[in-house]
Amino acid sequence: MNLAAGARPAFPPCIVVQVKALACELPHRRGLPLSRFSIADIRREVLQQGLVAEISGATIWRWLSQDAIRPWRHRTWIFPRDPLFVEKAGPILDLYQGLWQGQPLGPKDFVLSADEKTSIQARRRKHLSVAPAPGRPALLEQDYERAGAWVYLAAWDVRRAKVFGRCVRKNGSKPFDSLVGEVMSQEPYRSAARVFWIIDNCSAHRGQKCVQRLQARWPSVIPVHTPIHASWLNQIEIYFSVVQRKVLTPNDFDSLSKLETALLAFQERYEKSAAPFRWTFTREKLAKLMVRLAVKPLAQPLAQVA
């Protein structure tokens, strides 16, 4: 390390590499009672290991920022666990691209994405909420009473950006079939050639029994199940995330009826300005992902996966 007068300390490249390697490890694998590293944590470890006699947090931050390494951040991940993941995910990705079995969808073909958002509580706050003011955010009472919960069933027309939804007290095949019936009883779905319903594997619409049940009543319906543990392939989850941010956070409803009114009113409002989601994950990207996971499985340390 060069400590000439007035010069910034110049660390040898091997020190930079070791610090970055440390930042790319999970703390518990080093026996540390931490869930993730901060700059201060990394600096402390570097000094305790004797890699250098002294180093500033700013220097460590500069090194990590060069490679966009941010160990203090995280995102959730669902690893593909279905043995037929590619075979099941491929047709869904094709539908989002306007294809089915290699052929373009026709003008009388429609794609709907459907699911349930369960256990949406109505939380009656024990003090009225206070609106924001200059220099102060809105105030929400921490304590609340539970006023019941809804299951919100919804279907999203992938290409037309239309939402169909309803609130029910209990989930099951009958409420789901009622939602399908609501959609299929109106145009353009009633006279459609094919209506693809992308659904997950919950008990309300699981497996071949669901396919047979729906097609017995609506022959033009083609259920398409997502892989197991892969609801993220279902576009309705994007809409649910919007509902969570725009309607349910913070949750301040003193009755189930007001919660239902808010959900259905937002559904109507959202439709007025909605556009189809820009879905960029394609079959080609899926194939590349599976190759990458096969070569660098997540069981290895993150530093080896990056």
pLDDT in tens, the chain (306 residues): 555 555 556 899 999 999 999 999 999 999 999 999 999 999 999 999 999 999 999 999 999 999 999 999 988 878 888 999 999 999 999 999 999 999 999 999 999 999 999 999 999 999 999 999 999 999 999 999 999 999 999 999 999 999 999 999 999 999 999 999 999 999 999 999 999 999 999 998 999 999 999 999 999 999 999 999 898 999 999 999 999 999 999 999 999 999 999 999 999 999 999 999 999 999 999 999 899 888 765 544 333 332
The pair of structure tokens assigned to 9 is 């300390």
Residues 57, 197, single domain; the answer is: no
Residue 119 belongs to a domain: yes
Residue whose structure tokens are 């439709």: 271
* pLDDT given at position 56: 96
Residue with token string 């919100």 = 152
Residues 41, 44: Cα–Cα separation, whole Å: 5
Are 53 and 89 part of one and the same domain?
Answer: no
Specify if 182 maps to a domain: yes
User: What is the structure's pLDDT at 301?
Assistant: 39
177 and 258 within one domain: yes
Residue 40 identity: A
Q: Tell me how far apart the alpha carbons of residues 185 and 173 are, in angstroms, rounded to a whole number.
A: 18
In a domain, 300, yes or no: no
CB 18 within 8 A of CB 51: yes
Q: How far is CA 19 from CA 6, 38, 57, 106, 128, in A?
A: 24, 13, 12, 56, 50
Contact (CB, 8 A) for 199 and 115: yes
Taking phi over 0 as left and psi of -120 to 50 as alpha, with beta for the rest, 184 belongs to alpha
Same domain for 103 and 219, yes or no, is yes
Residues 89 and 192 in one domain: yes
| H or E element, residue 154 | strand 144-157
Structural domain contains residue 252: yes
Q: In this structure, are residues 157 and 110 in contact, taking their beta carbons and an 8 Å threshold?
A: yes
Residues 48 and 175 in one domain: no
* 274 close to 161: Cβ distance less than 8 angstroms: yes
Q: Could you tell me the end-to-end alpha-carbon distance of the chain, in angstroms, rounded to an integer?
A: 29
Same domain, 60 and 151: no
Look at residue 6 and tell me if it is in a domain. Answer: no
Instruction: Tell me which amino acid residue 232 is.
Output: W
Residue 21 belongs to what domain range?
A: 13-66
Domain count, the chain: 2
Is 227 in the same domain as 254? yes
Residue 124 and residue 196 share a domain? yes
- 147 and 21 within one domain: no
Whether the CB-CB separation of 183 and 110 falls below 8 Å is answered with no
Question: According to the model, what pLDDT value does residue 306 have?
Answer: 28
Of the candidates 108, 109, 91, the residue with the CA atom closest to the CA atom of residue 100? 91
110 and 31 belong to one structural domain: no
